Amino acid sequence: MYLSLIKPTFDWILALIVLLLLIPVFMLLSVIIKIDTRGPVFFIQSRLGKDGKEFKIFKFRSMSVTHSKPVNNIQYEDDPRITRVGRIIRKTSLDELPQLINIVKGEMSFIGPRPPVTHFPKKYSEYSDFEKERFSVKPGISGLAQVRAREEHDWDKNIPVDVEYARTVSFKLDLKLFLKSITFFFRTDNIYRRK
């Protein structure tokens, strides 16, 4: 009942309300991003969602379109592709706000495993049966792995934690993670992969 009805209903209603309230913020960030560098406002990328189904994730663009993508799309703090505005919105996690659109579309949740790109750390068909358990729930803007270790970018460590979440998901756990995620929202430590 919780996963099939209560959680998606709560996600949709809250995401829609927050999205409407943040329209002025979206408009302001869109203007600032366009003024800072040429290119689109949004960064759109294919990710793996529930049951391995692909979807397009939305983020505010924080990187220059003139630079080529790195191997495995990993960014570092001194990455020259990250724009001036991009550094700010990354440190404040404002680049994640457009994922509210994904929640309204039913592709994501507020809380759940972070959705990996379609080919990294591996293709969906290459995940083991154990690892595929992380895809039994919708991906989230934040999750158990992010609350425990911010953005550690270590899939070997994060996948077992994601499976743990998928096996124990409940309203109580989601509420706890949601509240902790809010306190982490403006933390600026450990948001980039260390070399």
pLDDT in tens, 118-132: 999 999 999 999 999
Q: Does a structural domain hold residue 192?
A: no
Q: Does a structural domain hold residue 189?
A: no
The arithmetic mean of pLDDT across residues 17-29, rounded, is 97
Q: Does a structural domain hold residue 194?
A: no
Global pTM value? 0.88
Residue 46: Cβ within 10 Å count: 13
Percent of the chain with pLDDT over 90: 75
Query: Six-digit token pair at 168?
Result: 């124990």
pLDDT digits (tens, 9 = 90+) for 56-83: 999 999 998 875 454 455 555 567 889 9
Helix axes 84-91, 23-36, angle to 10 degrees: 150
Q: Does a structural domain hold residue 119?
A: yes
* Full domain range(s) for residue 19: 2-184
Question: Please, what is the average pLDDT of the chain?
Answer: 89
DSSP symbols for 147-185: HHHSS---HHHHHHHHHHHHHH--HHHHHHHHHHHHHHT
Round to whole Å and give the CA distance between 56 and 95.
Answer: 15
Number of domain units in the chain = 1
Q: Does a structural domain hold residue 124?
A: yes
Burial class (CB in 10 A: 0-12, 13-18, 19+), 145: buried
Q: Does a structural domain hold residue 191?
A: no
pLDDT bucket at 148, cuts 50 / 70 / 90:
confident
Q: Does a structural domain hold residue 142?
A: yes
